[in-house]
Amino acid sequence: MFPPIDFPKWLDEHRHLLKPPVGNQQIWENTDFIVTVVGGPNQRTDFHDDPYEEFFWQFKGNAWLSTMEGGLPGRVELREGAMFLLPPHLRHSPQRPEEGSLCLVIERTRPQGVLDGFEWFCPDCHALLHRIEVQLKSIVRDL
C-alpha cells in the first residue's frame, strides 16, 4: 500500500520535470492506473489512440484536446478546473500552450498485447498519413 501524498509538496518537488521536452511525470509505478501530471507548454502533432478511457483534470491553466473522429477534426476545451473523461479510441492530441499549466491524467495500465496507437493526419484534408502501434510500458519514457 502506498501512503497518501501531499500533492502540493509533490508538485513542488517535481516541477522541474513538468516542462519540455518531456513535460510529464508519473506519480506511482507498478499500479493498475497510470497517474501522471503533465505540464505545459507543449505542442504535439500526433493523435493518441488509447484503447481505454482517459481522465483529465486541468487543475492549473488552460489546454485543449484536438480530436479526430470519422475524418473530422474537433476540439475539447480544458479550462482551468475542468474534468473530462475521454472515451476509448477517440483520437486526441493534447495541446498545452500555457507555460506552467498542469493537468492530472489517469489511464489504465495496458496488459501485454493491448497496444496504443499514434496517428498523424494531413492538416489540410485530414487524411491519415501514418500510424504506429506500441506496447506502452512507461508513459514517461515511451511518449
Side chain identity at 14, as an amino acid letter?
Answer: H
Supply 71's cell numbers. 475524418
Tens-place pLDDT, residues 49-70:
999 999 999 999 999 999 999 9
Residues 73 and 93: their CA atoms lie apart, in Å, by: 11
Give the DSSP letter of residue 42: B
pLDDT of amino acid 76:
99
What pTM does this model have? 0.94
Work out the average pLDDT over 110-139.
94
Residues 44 and 55: their CA atoms lie apart, in Å, by: 19
pLDDT of amino acid 143:
63
Going by C-alpha positions, the residue among 49, 29, 42, 51 that lies closest to residue 138 is 29
Domain residue spans of the chain: 7-134
Whether 8 shows a pLDDT value over 90: the answer reads yes
Tens-place pLDDT, residues 91-107:
999 999 999 999 999 99
Is the bond into 21 cis (omega within 30 degrees of 0)? yes
Tens-place pLDDT, residues 9-53:
999 999 999 998 779 999 999 999 999 999 999 989 999 999 999
Q: How confident is the model at residue 136 (pLDDT cuts 50, 70, 90)?
A: confident
Is the bond into 3 cis (omega within 30 degrees of 0)? no
Q: Residues 44, 95: contact at Cβ < 8 Å?
A: yes
Does the domain at 7-134 match CATH 2.60.120.10? Answer given as yes
Helix (H) / strand (E) containing 140: helix 139-142
**22 or 87: which carries more pLDDT confidence?**
87
